[in-house]
Structure 1
Amino acid sequence: MSRKGVGLAAFDRSRLTSAQFASHGSSLRTSDAKALETQLSVFRSLLQQFATTHAKDIRSDPSFRAQFARMCSAIGVDPLASSSSSGGSGNSLWAQLLGRSVNDFYFELAVRVVEVCSATRGENGGLIGVRELRERVVRGRMEGAPEVVDDDVLRAVATLKPLGTGYSVVKVGNRSYVRSVPKELNTDQSAVLEAAQVLGYVSVSMLMVNLRWARARAQTNLDDLLGEGMLWVDKQAPDEWEYWSPGFMLEMGNDTTAAGG
């Protein structure tokens, strides 16, 4: 029986077939990219129409503003990012679609975030709850100023990321915090802070029993957090030193003040 597809001719046919498949694949990728670019262009146009129609609601209603921002994110558009790379004027999407007022709102809010974080760093070691941060930010604002919600604070923090200043949002347990020092929490430190949320404080023995850590591991992580100012130590505790969460203590103080008022 003759064996087909043997020799140089078969090799040339195989190479030609591979080249044809590669060319077809490249053509399909180019076609898909163009179609996707067209779809994004249509989405952006519709987004602009929506923003123009509902500009007043976006400026004044924080809930509506958050929904609009999430809609932008769903199609890969960052409302706060500069558009200069795409041939725009260099302003963000907020500025292009809604005027400078909304754009300035976030950047002015970011300035207040920096001021509050700097002023409270001695109290909390550079880790402040988003709710507390928002409450401090809105104090002293002029009457009639736009309402600020947690989502606005988070987006204002996001505008600081390109500056490389260490501002970021971290999750500890079920709460979000703004970190204003350029250091990441490791897994152990996050576990300690999460445990401190339960009673407001932790101790070496508590970590050893509940997390099944060795004494050295528990003490080292407590010392690290204490050095960063994220925990305060009570050396007068009856049994052993207690390491308190500054945020918890501040919240207790605020609750006591509110109850007394």
Structure 2
Amino acid sequence: MSLRRGVGLAAFDNHQRTQQQYSDLGSTILTSHIAELSDQLVTFQSALKKFAQSHADEIRSDPVFRSEFVKMCTAIGVDPLASSSANRKGSFWAQLLGNDVNDFFFELAVRIIEICRRTKDENGGLIEVEEVKKRLNSVAGKQPASQEDIVRAVGTLAPLGHGFGIVKLANKDFIRSVPQELNRDQAVAIEATQALGYVSVPMLRDNLNWETARCVTVLDDLVASGLVWVDEQARPREYWSPSWITR
């Protein structure tokens, strides 16, 4: 019995040693791969910096070129607008191209805020990104902005709180400039107003199988936030998107 137990313990010890050897080998390979990937990442980032410096004018002035540059940055984990904690000189773009590109996005954000402010009575605080793009690019003497530029500029407004953000309604991007976040029911109701111009309690109830109380609550909340206007004279009441009324 003791002989058998000795053989069993020896086999167990051998198994443990084998497992440890596999574990050590795996750790060595993983460390080697991480070092190799880190070297590749440094090489990519160095090449990206040279590319940015060589094409600074195109990045500043051409929205399509700028968009492709952002995609390259994103692919290797570089956020062009984010400041590096290890480098206090500012963002990646600011270091490579001066402050022109950073200033472009911050100025763009200010112009977007102004458009949202001017049009709030027309749209209740929801304006399509494409409409903002048209208004921005209609101003002479300003660098053209793409849809991607606008979305990125709105992202720089995040420190201001929940007042500004991008929401997708009916497969279109909208800028929300009201502090209230849209819940799922409200988003569905807003999508309906974008398609038809208005909704009513019976429309929501019959098409979505919602209870009447649910429909009334959703629409009353949207009215309170200014995102829809109510036509009291219609029977049943109609809840209109402000952008349709002001067309």
CA distance in 1 between counterparts of 2:6 and 2:177 reads 68
Tell me what 1:196 maps to: 193
Matched, 1:217 2:196: no
CA distance in 1 between counterparts of 2:54 and 2:7 reads 69
Tell me what 2:63 maps to: 62
Matches within 5 A, 1:12-27: 12-27=13-28
Matched, 1:157 2:154: yes
Tell me what 2:132 maps to: 133
Shift of 1:120: 4.2
Contact 1:165 1:182 in 2 (8 A): yes
Tell me what 1:256 maps to: none
Shift of 1:158: 1.4
Deviation track 1:28-83 (CA, whole Å, cap 9, x = no partner) reads 22222111111111111111121122111111111111111122112221111112
CA distance in 1 between counterparts of 2:242 and 2:28 reads 60
Gaps of 5+ in 2: none
Matched residues, number = 245
Shift of 1:121: 4.2
Matched, 1:227 2:224: yes
Q: Relative to 1, partners in 2 of residues 1:122 and 1:13: Cα closer, same or farther, differing over 3 Å?
A: farther
Matches within 5 A, 1:161-176: 161-176=158-173
CA distance in 2 between counterparts of 1:35 and 1:163 reads 40
Q: 1:25 is paired with a residue of what secondary structure?
A: helix
Deviation track 1:199-247 (CA, whole Å, cap 9, x = no partner) reads 111011111222222212221211121122111111111x211001123
Structure 1-normalised TM-score?
A: 0.83
Tell me what 1:113 maps to: 112
Structure 2-normalised TM-score?
A: 0.88
Give the partner amino acid of 2:177.
Answer: S
Give the partner amino acid of 2:129.
Answer: V
